[in-house]
Amino acid sequence: KILVMDTQGNTRVLNGTVFVMEPFDITIEQLGETEKLISFLVQPKSITIPIQTINGFSFTPYGYADEELEIVSSERVESGRVITVLKKQVSKKALQFIAQNNLGTRSKPIHWIDRRFTGDHLSMNVNMDISHTEAGLYIQFQPEQVLDVELSLRLKGKYKYTTIPLNQIQPSVYLSQPISPMQFQNINQIESILNGSIERQIQFNFPYTVAEPGSSITVISKDTYCSMRTKKTSIASPTVMWIEAVHKHAPVDHGNLISRVYQLQPFERPLLHSMNIAIRYPAKL
């Protein structure tokens, strides 16, 4: 029995079965090419439910979305499909494909990269972003150019090493699953592991503090001029907190700016009750 209710409280009773299927993994293999066309075999990695449709998108070598691919032909082969796309849409590009099977379930994205136009993983800059939601912390790595290597994440502390796999959600964007804030206890460094022919490790300092309900902690900005102190009732669940200096901020229309502008993180998480904030001026007023 399934109860369906709208915002007005009207309820209908349905009899049926709710089927939930997680996004499935797919593989891609280049089969051949002509002067104008290039073909790929896309198939499920483990399940045998046939793929019904495939959508493709191209990205520039620097990871920017370019255009949706025109699928010239699509032919079923066992549970997969052989697709053909225009070669002019593929040249010097990275491609992303997402499939949908006969049950309507979409796949995780799979990527194909023109290796002639990938960056050097030993010298490429990699940016890190952190987002804190109710589900946990998401860590994202984004190289400045598309790379032909796998990336993983490592949390490092004095006596702690935890390796976490990453999902390649775009040709140059790698995202973790939500990570519990408690996993960041005693962590002082985050590493991005680039698993090429020569492994490269990129270290990022972790100037964040884990706050727990029922305790009070103090978080200080990197320049030491801004701090926030939680109360025992400030948060409802474990939270990773930090302070970022804002380099581009809204103009001050009336008055003078006498301190730097700071962003208190994580701004996505609401406070349960208030906390204290202090700003120290760099010079006497």
Query: Mean of the pLDDT values across residues 70-86?
Result: 94
Query: Mean of the pLDDT values across residues 195-219?
Result: 91
126-205 matches 26-117 in CATH topology: yes
- Kindly indicate the confidence band of residue 91, based on its pLDDT and cuts at 50, 70 and 90: confident
What's the angle, vertex CA 91, arms to CA 86 and CA 94, rounded to 5? 100
Token couple for 81: 């499909």
The tens digit of pLDDT for each residue in 16-70 reads 877 788 899 999 999 999 999 999 999 999 878 999 999 999 999 888 889 999 9
Q: Which long-range contacts (CB under 8 A, 24 or more apart) does 15-24 make?
A: 19/103, 21/103, 21/105, 22/105, 23/105, 23/106, 23/107, 23/108, 24/49, 24/101, 24/105, 24/107, 24/108
The tens digit of pLDDT for each residue in 125-135 reads 999 999 999 99
DSSP states along 27-53:
EEEEEEE-SSEEEEEEEESS--SPEEE
What's the Rg (C-alpha) of the chain?
Answer: 24
| CATH T-level topology, domain 126-205 | Immunoglobulin-like (2.60.40)
The percent of residues above 90 in pLDDT, for the chain, comes to 69
Helical spans, DSSP H, in 142-236:
none
The residue extents of the domains of the chain are 26-117, 126-205, 209-279
Q: Is the pLDDT of residue 235 over 70?
A: yes
State the burial class of residue 151 (Cβ atoms within 10 Å of its Cβ: 0-12, 13-18, 19+). buried
C-beta of residue 147 within 8 angstroms of C-beta of residue 194: yes
What does the pLDDT read at residue 154? Answer: 94
What does the pLDDT read at residue 284? Answer: 67
Helical spans, DSSP H, in 95-214:
none
Cα–Cα distance between 115 and 90 in angstroms, integer?
A: 12
Q: Is the pLDDT of residue 81 over 70?
A: yes
CATH class, domain 26-117, is: mainly beta
What's the angle, vertex CA 23, arms to CA 151 and CA 184, rounded to 5? 45
Query: Mean of the pLDDT values across residues 235-247?
Result: 92
- Which of 47-51, 91-95, 152-156 ranks highest by mean pLDDT? 152-156
Q: Is the pLDDT of residue 252 over 90?
A: no
Q: Is the pLDDT of residue 218 over 90?
A: yes
What does the pLDDT read at residue 271? Answer: 92
Cα–Cα distance between 149 and 43 in angstroms, integer?
A: 22
Cα–Cα distance between 76 and 39 in angstroms, integer?
A: 13
If you count DSSP H runs as helices and E runs as strands, how many of each does the chain have, helices first?
Answer: 0, 24
What does the pLDDT read at residue 17? Answer: 79
